[in-house]
């Protein structure tokens, strides 16, 4: 319980009040001063001095000087009048002070509601106007958006999965990282789970086909590549790269099964998409050579 200090002296002029408060031997750095418009407090344990001022002061211009076991306050009055006493008349308290302060300052009215207009930049497709496939491009984008929403996370077997493990995109990236490290079986598991969550994302099948090629699961590689091509419709510039990879991977699987004619058909389809790809051109030429050599042997 603090000891309230009642020994102080004060003087005034019409503009200022001078208040002297003894510190009673307490160290200066232990004194805590608070000054408001109508309230002054000095806490220097175990002593406490507070006063509710007779009239408002300019607390921004008022100042305090501490020294010689004394605090000297110079309080600047807001109105140049002589006070009858230092403290306000009895019956008023600090709650009234602050409630009056709020009334004086006023509470700002709520901001009015408004709306923000947002305009999106129209998507520009790289196709020349005379060769425009705008309808096909829009259909492709719509299919991709629908595929992202076709989630099956409510299946009972997915209840124990973490949130990120229920995200096909996260699983696809995980599978890609596992593939890059040569862990093809684990990558297949990641793609398998992603496909169970969403069976409409073509890149999941395309990437799983690459794993099956590495594992020499050739029939599965053909199956996944075909499924990817089925989903990569309509054929537009946005999915051209994926379609070319699907044809190359299926063609590679056919060739490894010694089905060179079917393999060449896929390589030629890939070259129609990107005729300038030197690697696909070279591989297609090798397949033609093999087919021609096989035909010559059969004639002999």
* Same-domain pairing of 160 and 257: yes
* Same-domain pairing of 252 and 164: yes
- Could you tell me if residue 123 is inside a domain? no
* Same-domain pairing of 192 and 284: yes
- Could you tell me if residue 98 is inside a domain? no
What is the predicted pLDDT for the residue at 91? 45
Cβ neighbours of residue 94 under 8 Å, at least 6 residues apart? 39, 52
pLDDT class of 283 with cuts at 50, 70, 90: very high
* Same-domain pairing of 166 and 267: yes
Last residue of a domain, one of 52, 81, 110: 81
- Could you tell me if residue 65 is inside a domain? yes
Region 53-57: mean pLDDT is 90
Check which CATH number belongs to the domain holding 59 and give it: 2.60.40.790
Whether the predicted pLDDT of 50 surpasses 50: yes
* Same-domain pairing of 72 and 161: no
- Could you tell me if residue 126 is inside a domain? no
Task: Give the chain's domain count.
Answer: 2
What is the predicted pLDDT for the residue at 117? 78
Whether the predicted pLDDT of 223 surpasses 60: yes
What is the predicted pLDDT for the residue at 247? 96
Beta bridge partners of 10: 19
Give the residue numbers spanning the domain of 31.
3-81
pLDDT (tens digit per residue) in 4-28: 888 888 999 999 999 888 877 777 6
pLDDT class of 189 with cuts at 50, 70, 90: very high
Listed ranges 17-31, 108-122, 240-254; the one with the highest mean pLDDT: 240-254
Region 119-126: mean pLDDT is 62
pLDDT (tens digit per residue) in 159-187: 666 777 778 888 999 999 999 999 999 99
Cα–Cα distance between 254 and 191 in angstroms, integer? 22
* Same-domain pairing of 188 and 293: yes
Cα–Cα distance between 295 and 261 in angstroms, integer? 11
- Could you tell me if residue 125 is inside a domain? no
Check which CATH number belongs to the domain holding 200 and give it: 1.25.40.10
* Same-domain pairing of 165 and 294: yes
C-alpha torsion angle, residues 225, 232, 245, 212 (rounded to 10):
-20
What is the predicted pLDDT for the residue at 164? 72
Last residue of a domain, one of 49, 81, 113: 81
φ/ψ of 90, rounded to 5, equals -65, 155
What is the predicted pLDDT for the residue at 133? 66
- Could you tell me if residue 109 is inside a domain? no
Whether the predicted pLDDT of 29 surpasses 80: no
pTM for the complete prediction? 0.52
**Quick one: which of 207, 135, 133, 140 has its CA closest to 171?**
207
* Same-domain pairing of 73 and 185: no
Contact 73, 59 (CB under 8 A): no
Whether the predicted pLDDT of 209 surpasses 80: yes
Average pLDDT of the chain is: 82
Which 8-state DSSP code applies to residue 61?
T
Last residue of a domain, one of 27, 48, 81: 81
What is the predicted pLDDT for the residue at 96? 52
- Could you tell me if residue 136 is inside a domain? no
- Could you tell me if residue 122 is inside a domain? no
Region 225-241: mean pLDDT is 91
Structure tokens, 103: 């009334």
């Amino acid at each position: 319980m603090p000891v309230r200090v009642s020994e102080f002296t004060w003087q005034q002029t019409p503009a200022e009040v001078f208040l002297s408060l003894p510190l009673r031997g307490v160290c200066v750095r232990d004194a805590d001063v608070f000054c408001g418009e109508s309230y002054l407090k000095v806490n220097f344990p175990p002593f406490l001095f507070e006063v509710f001022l007779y009239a408002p002061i300019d607390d921004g211009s008022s100042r305090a000087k501490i020294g010689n076991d004394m605090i000297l306050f110079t309080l600047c009055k807001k109105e140049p009048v002589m006070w009858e006493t230092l403290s306000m008349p009895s019956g008023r308290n600090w709650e009234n002070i602050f409630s009056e302060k709020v009334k004086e300052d006023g509470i700002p009215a709520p901001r009015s509601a408004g709306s923000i207009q947002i305009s999106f930049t129209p998507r520009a497709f790289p196709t020349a106007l005379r060769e425009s496939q705008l309808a096909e491009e829009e259909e492709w984008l719509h299919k991709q958006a629908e595929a992202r929403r076709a989630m099956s996370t409510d299946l009972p077997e997915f209840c124990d999965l973490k949130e990120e493990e229920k995200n096909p995109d996260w699983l696809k990236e995980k599978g890609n990282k596992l593939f890059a490290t040569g862990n093809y079986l684990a990558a297949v598991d990641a793609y398998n789970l992603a496909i169970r969550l969403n069976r409409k994302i073509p890149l999941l099948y395309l990437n799983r086909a690459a794993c099956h090629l590495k594992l020499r699961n050739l029939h599965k590689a053909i199956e996944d590549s075909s499924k990817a091509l089925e989903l990569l419709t309509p054929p537009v510039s946005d999915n051209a790269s994926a379609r070319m990879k699907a044809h190359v991977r299926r063609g590679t699987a056919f060739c490894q099964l010694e089905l060179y004619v079917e393999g060449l058909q896929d390589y030629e389809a890939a070259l129609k998409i990107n005729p300038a790809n030197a690697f696909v051109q070279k591989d297609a030429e090798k397949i033609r050579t093999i087919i021609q050599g096989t035909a010559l042997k059969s004639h002999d």
